[in-house]
Structure 1
Amino acid sequence: MRRRQVVIGMLGTQLDSGIGPARWEKWRPTVSLGMHETFLVDRLELLVDERRYSALANTVALDIAQTSPETDVHRHDVYLADPWDFEAVYASLHDFLQAYPFQPEEEDYYVHITTGTHVTQICWFLLAESRHFPGRLLQTSPPRKQGGDAPGSFAIIDLDLSRYDRIAQRFQQQQLADRDLLKSGIATRNAAFNRMIEQIETVATRSKAPMLLMGPTGAGKSQLARRVFDLKKLKHQLPGGFVEVNCATLRGDGAMSALFGHVRGAYTGAANDRAGLLRSAHRGLLFLDEIGELGLDEQAMLLRALEEKRFLPVGSDKEVESDFQLIAGTNRDLQVAVAQGRFRDDLLARLNLWTYRLPSLAERAEDIEPNLDFELERWSRENHARVTFNREARTRYVAFATGPDAAWSGNFRDLGASIMRMATLAEGGRIQIANVDEEIGRLRRQWRGDALPSVLDTLLGERAEALDRFDRIQLEEVVRACAKAKSLSQAGRELFAVSRQQRASTNDADRLRKYLAKFGLDWEQVRAVRAS
């Protein structure tokens, strides 16, 4: 089936002009688009200043209908106060293309550069080069001899263009917008993370090579992969979809089928053909999270699919094709996995061209506050209810979140869940100190393990939350020593074994008793906890 051909162009206020029968004796570039037997235009998107040139546009549209009835002419009112103003022209054309519903899977696009001022032509060049326009340039030329029905000639051209200083700032603004997209709109403050995002933005728009995202669980690998896809989609570089799978969920015989598909009857239970994830990602982006969990056989098949864009579905003797871009994620050290024989070194070499390590939330303490605002805004948007902190509550939460007691073992997942809980429980749309204190206690218990509360929680109850970290660590060690000892004196001797040698007289039991009393504890309480 022939793909539809779509031309976008300006109305030529001089070259396209003409009235009466005599106009047919003149070569008019826009009308000539419908006169070439070897170049059929299915749709013409005609940009017109309707306030000044509506009558001319009517004539041109009627003449195209006469010469090429199969061409649909769609008019768009585009006002240019000064067609020689670079910034104004570029902005106007850029906005038009941003709003246009391109369908590159079904249509081929051309921009007609013959009409319009030189400034307009330069702007078309730049927009095509930067992929804001997903098509090619179309140049039409008059016949050597004017008159009659001569359509002239046309050429489809591709230019290697340099940047223009006058609009360099607009490209910089676009870069910043692209990077902002990769960061989900969060004003991150961590310099190393921002430098990494800058390079990922450059690589994402210039390369189709695989990327490897490393980092702990919850560091945002999946979200970043999705943002890379959104950026490439915005620039019309990936007509396909986004396919994501956690390789840790692919086990046994089903892993091959899930990734590469199978044919009917390939194994017991295979009642129908299955396309598989790689084929579903054709012309799109495939994100394989926790790629270190893949088996060696699946790794070998994946390597071939990456290098040759071809592979065999399970049970088939006929290869299939899939041209996808791969982003892999892992929280493992794949170099160690290679040394242990659990990961193929040739696959790692293929993945290791663009490798980025996403830092944990604890390594980005300065980014906790802007992420807090982002999560709170997201909750408000999703629940259609505005929730904010009061000043004291926000100060207390940020101090805890960026302090030494905050483990953030689940990274951004922990932070997002924490904000969701406080926002849900907030009365009257305001998170108060009481909400924050309750959440801090919950996080501390979570990080210590909800199923196995610490012995200090059992001994002290809510008072355990008031302990400094130094006192908590020291007291936990003392209680563990007491739990192993048969008497207060024995525990004292073990705890003060070094310092007691330097004392003329010692009473280790009394020394230990006084230490426990500082925290409202005594030997009987400690023994009771041990016995339970």
Structure 2
Amino acid sequence: MNKKCVVVGFLGVHLDQPRKSRDRWATWRPSVAICQQDDLIVDRFELLVERRYSKLADQITRDIETVSPETTVRAHSISLQDPWDLEEVYAELHQFSRDYAFDTDHEDYLIHITTGTHVAQICLFLLTESRHLPGRLIQTSPPPGRGRSKQEEAQAVQGTFQIIDLDLSRYDELAKRFRLEHDEARSILKRGIETKDRSFNELIDRIEKVTLATKAPILMSGPTGAGKTQLAKRIYELKHNRRQVSGPFAEVNCATIRGEQAMSALFGHTKGAFTGANSARAGLLKSADGGMLFLDEIGELGLDEQAMLLRAIEDKEFTPVGSDQSVQSDFQLIAGTNRDLLMDVAAGNFREDLLARINLWSFRLPGLCERRADIDPNLDYELHQFARNTGQKITISKEARKAFLDFATDPTTPWRANFRDLNAAVTRMGTLADGGRITVALVQEEIERLRSSWRTKDAHGDADVLASCMDESQIAELDRFDRVQLAEVVRVCRQSRSLSQAGRSLFAVSRTAKAKPNDADRLRKYLQRFGLSWDEVARS
């Protein structure tokens, strides 16, 4: 499908105005000339006009329609007190870029930089390079006049054009506007939650920068429930808002598909490719063409699927199940995992070349235990989400809020399922809240429910936790009491970024009675009692 050509440019107050009205067809006028080019068909001209020059704009519009009947001219009134004021011109053009309904799927945009003041041209450069104006720059030039007859000059008044790519330096005066857009992007990635954790905010800033600068794959690791899926959707939303992707967002949890089903779900199949394939299926990779594909728990894919995925990433093509012809798809991949893929590579369960390809930009999302300062704003977010989903406005008393936050931010509260636990807790309290108000009694009931749930999970999972860092003979020599205690220590170590952080969590109460607490040393000595080290436990 051929896209329509749309030109965006200023009315040239001087260049588009001939010296004498009768000479206008023998004079090079850039806004008219751009529609006279033999090898450039302009379907629409978006003409930016200062209000005081509306009469000239009407004349230029009629002349363009005369030389190029296929071109539709739409005039846009631009209000400028001083066309040489950088801040004023940029603000006006920036607002135009936000208000205009660009359709990059069906239209190509050329930003005309020959007309307008030098300030206007600079602003058009900046807005085009930042993709606020999602097009290319075009410059028109008058025909050479020396050595030509008047008849030749009259026949060549259209001049020439060229599409250019210039690199511009930044302007300090515009820094505030760029910071505002940065804040808007950060808000999208954080779902509007005013997070307080400094390291998490720094992580979001880095993700924003990478998101807007590249289409390379992104790998997000972190525990289950840390928010990888939600962040992937926010990344897509940010890129879509900036017109960097036009296709859809497709997602799948790779742990839910196996074998032939995985091949079909990802790469599609032809009719009759296998038993039950009664019709053809496009597959997620094809569905994400022009958009973004999120593969959660990518470590669960089999080696065959990994090999085909690597080809799809590198060559932008793959072969559906049962077909002998390749299918093309250009998508950006975001992969999520809660596993150590380097260990999977060492064990032969994950392809090293695929990991190298998707690990160019790798970000680890911390669990809720590592972001306790953000539980407060996330509580407000969950209450707002509950109200939006149910239509019931829920409030929480000051005392109840304090009781919940005291429990939630306590270093001993494990939050096993991370934000999923928090969401479930708010949902239960909101549902049971009489009169739409969460009380202290309701909070205490929820706290006991959470603790009971975690104790049950711990009782069933202690053996698996210990088996990850000890052999069966070592575990058999442990008393039942030591098994329970050591399993909890191992869990906390896994959730912590350092030996000191794990020690602070484990000895949160007793350390307050010590003048100089050395949590790391206490934890190190405890692990040594069982023949374990921090590196072994953390790696497990």
Same fold (TM over 0.5): yes
1:441 to 1:252, Cα distance in 2 relative to 1, 3 A:
same
**What residue in structure 2 maps to residue 101 of structure 1?**
101
**What residue in structure 2 maps to residue 491 of structure 1?**
none
Matches within 5 A, 1:216-365: 216-365=223-372
Superposed CA deviations along residues 297-356 of structure 1, whole A, max 9, x for unmatched, are: 111111122222222111111122222211110111112222222212221122222111
What is the alpha-carbon distance in structure 1 between the residues aligned to residue 119 and residue 223 of structure 2? 50
Q: Percent identity?
A: 57
Superposed CA deviations along residues 9-39 of structure 1, whole A, max 9, x for unmatched, are: 1222332235844433433221222211111
Q: Which structure 1 segments of 5+ residues have no match?
A: 454-472, 478-532
1:267 to 1:141, Cα distance in 2 relative to 1, 3 A:
same
Check if 1:198 corresponds to 2:240: no
TM-score, length of structure 2 as denominator length: 0.79
Check if 1:65 corresponds to 2:65: yes
* Backbone CA RMSD of aligned residues: 2.4
**What residue in structure 2 maps to residue 188 of structure 1?**
195
**What residue in structure 2 maps to residue 27 of structure 1?**
28
**What residue in structure 2 maps to residue 173 of structure 1?**
180
Compare CA radii of gyration and give the structure with the larger one: 1
Superposed CA deviations along residues 493-516 of structure 1, whole A, max 9, x for unmatched, are: xxxxxxxxxxxxxxxxxxxxxxxx
AA aligned to 1:133 is: L
Superposed CA deviations along residues 180-214 of structure 1, whole A, max 9, x for unmatched, are: 22111222111221222122112112222211111
> Per-residue deviation at 1:94?
1.5
Q: How many residues align?
A: 456
AA aligned to 1:401 is: A
In terms of mean alpha carbon deviation, does 347-356 or 380-389 score higher? 380-389
What is the alpha-carbon distance in structure 2 between the residues aligned to residue 161 and residue 33 of structure 1? 24
Find the residue that maps to 2:371 and give its secondary structure: helix
What is the alpha-carbon distance in structure 2 between the residues aligned to residue 354 and residue 375 of structure 1? 30
AA aligned to 1:126 is: L
1:56 to 1:294, Cα distance in 2 relative to 1, 3 A:
same
1:413 to 1:78, Cα distance in 2 relative to 1, 3 A:
farther
AA aligned to 1:239 is: S
Superposed CA deviations along residues 271-307 of structure 1, whole A, max 9, x for unmatched, are: 2221111111122111100111111111111112222
> Per-residue deviation at 1:405?
4.8
Superposed CA deviations along residues 148-195 of structure 1, whole A, max 9, x for unmatched, are: 461122111111121122213322332232222211122211122122
1:273 to 1:154, Cα distance in 2 relative to 1, 3 A:
same
> Per-residue deviation at 1:265?
1.9
Find the residue that maps to 1:224 and give its secondary structure: helix
1:423 to 1:269, Cα distance in 2 relative to 1, 3 A:
same
What is the alpha-carbon distance in structure 2 between the residues aligned to residue 243 and residue 13 of structure 1? 49
What is the alpha-carbon distance in structure 1 between the residues aligned to residue 159 and residue 409 of structure 2? 70
In terms of mean alpha carbon deviation, does 287-296 or 167-176 score higher? 167-176
> Per-residue deviation at 1:441?
2.8
Superposed CA deviations along residues 101-151 of structure 1, whole A, max 9, x for unmatched, are: 222222111111112111111111111111222111111122334974611
Superposed CA deviations along residues 358-402 of structure 1, whole A, max 9, x for unmatched, are: 110011000111111222223334445543322222212111111
1:22 to 1:427, Cα distance in 2 relative to 1, 3 A:
farther
**What residue in structure 1 maps to residue 41 of structure 2?**
40
Matches within 5 A, 1:64-143: 64-143=64-143
What is the alpha-carbon distance in structure 2 between the residues aligned to residue 220 and residue 154 of structure 1? 50
Superposed CA deviations along residues 460-509 of structure 1, whole A, max 9, x for unmatched, are: xxxxxxxxxxxxx99x99xxxxxxxxxxxxxxxxxxxxxxxxxxxxxxxx
1:424 to 1:92, Cα distance in 2 relative to 1, 3 A:
farther
